[in-house]
Amino acid sequence: MTLIKPFRALRPAPGRSAEVLAPPYDVLSSAEARERAKGKPWSFLHISKPEIDLDPATDPYDRAVYAKAAENLAKMTAAGVLMRDARPCYYVYRLTWRDRTQTGLACVASLADYASNRIRKHELTTPVKEDDRVRQIEAINAQTGPVMIGYPNAPAIDALLAQAAAGSPQVDVSADDGVCHQLWVIADDATIDKLTRAFDALPAIYIADGHHRSAAAARVAAKRKGEGSHRYFLSVIFPEREMTILDYNRVVKDLNGRSPEQLLAELAKNFTVAPSAEPVRPHSSHDYGMYLAGRWYRLTIRPELVPNDPIGRLPITMLTRNAIEPLLGIKDPRTDKRIDFVGGARGLAGLEARVKSGEMAVAFALYPTQMTDLMAVADAGGIMPPKSTWFEPKLADGMVNHVLD
């Protein structure tokens, strides 16, 4: 069993991609998806968020939701909006957002290598979300929404992808969020074989985004037993150096009984604290911006407090251990309602606004986690702290789908 293999993608028919492609299912609420899909009968949201076609009071995990997904998939296929390639192919998938471009390979990846940790994870899953994806796969007999994976330095793979994407793409769609999605089909046996062998030479690849989807695929495969396409899961694998992780910042509702002056004095034991006339964007993993009582500060952790282990030296781990937990009293950020997480796409102004509104008392801007950090944690068999990574741009749902024959 090879690390990856080609597959017969179910995908939009020629000229239909702009009607079909949709944001990932897990970045929109049901209400947001319902609004996005208005006037778009062929949007993939009708499959990935099928509750939008039911009564708004319907529980998104109700059996009727998954039945509606299967009904909508059958309808889109029967109408010729979705078609399936006649033979197994690989697909070059390129994302362009702002000044960033990343070019990866859409394929199916081995669940045996997932189980053996050759395909490495860095995140815990939650049962409710995992169960949802299992029910979705079983209802429609397909995997939708690719798992985003990073591969380490591999010039031979880079060259093969560049060669395959040298001509005009079969799909070229600019989404309303400004992301351009392009797809090239690789159907010739020689290139397919070269890519399969080049990826099989890699010691490991790394899940970036999609832990619930990959875990659900593994559960479905365990139920079905035997050989078949269910032994692989839908993936797009990018060179890790091209992948972008944005900062994932923190805001806290109160100061745990302290005044701003008291908090600053206590922070000074573990950080150098410097007031700033401008919003502070951290320029290294040891640096933090803090907005408190109408003013920005630059916090720099003291060198002797920087650990050597891959998890301990993450910016969020150091902030948690030296400020959020001991000073602000937040023991479990997964469950504590006093802390919230703000994706870096909202910028420093978004952090400042949460505090100025009175909703929050303090905001912390963090240096983004690096892909090398993520890989080091995964190599060590560790788990990243919650909300450590925010990948942009994101893959579109509906571009390629993996039918389980």
Q: What confidence tens digit (pLDDT) does each residue in 127-155 have?
A: 999 999 999 999 999 999 999 999 999 99
Average of per-residue pLDDT values in the chain: 96
pLDDT of 344 over the 90 cut: no
The model's pLDDT over 151-160, given as tens digits with 9 standing for 90+, comes to 999 999 999 9
The model's pLDDT over 243-264, given as tens digits with 9 standing for 90+, comes to 999 999 999 999 999 999 999 9
d(CA 249, CA 316): 9
Residues 230, 119 within the same domain:
yes
User: Which residue segment(s) compose the domain that 289 sits in?
Assistant: 248-367
Residues 263, 144 within the same domain:
no
pLDDT of residue 387: 84
Residues 218, 308 within the same domain:
no
The model's pLDDT over 63-108, given as tens digits with 9 standing for 90+, comes to 999 999 999 999 999 999 999 999 999 999 999 999 899 999 999 9
Residues 239, 91 within the same domain:
yes
Residues 281, 179 within the same domain:
no
Residues 291, 213 within the same domain:
no
Residues 241, 347 within the same domain:
no
Residues 104, 128 within the same domain:
yes
pLDDT of residue 226: 86
Residues 131, 48 within the same domain:
yes
Question: Tell me, what amino acid is at 27?
Answer: V
* Side-chain half-sphere exposure of 10, counting CA atoms within 13 A: 23
Kindly state whether residue 387 falls inside one of the protein's structural domains: no
pLDDT of 378 over the 90 cut: yes
Residues 272, 252 within the same domain:
yes
Q: Which helix (H) or strand (E) holds 371?
A: helix 371-379
The pLDDT-based confidence of 176 (bands split at 50, 70, 90) is confident
**Across residues 366-379, what is the average pLDDT?**
96
Work out the percent of the chain whose per-residue pLDDT is above 90: 92
Domain count, the chain: 2
Q: Residue 335 belongs to a domain with what CATH number?
A: 3.30.1760
pLDDT of 60 over the 90 cut: yes
Kindly state whether residue 382 falls inside one of the protein's structural domains: no
The pLDDT-based confidence of 279 (bands split at 50, 70, 90) is very high
Kindly state whether residue 128 falls inside one of the protein's structural domains: yes
Greatest Cα pair distance in the chain: 68
Kindly state whether residue 379 falls inside one of the protein's structural domains: no
Kindly state whether residue 386 falls inside one of the protein's structural domains: no
Angle of helix 127-140 relative to helix 63-78, nearest 10 degrees, comes to 40
Residues 224, 112 within the same domain:
yes
Residues 165, 26 within the same domain:
yes
**Across residues 292-315, what is the average pLDDT?**
96
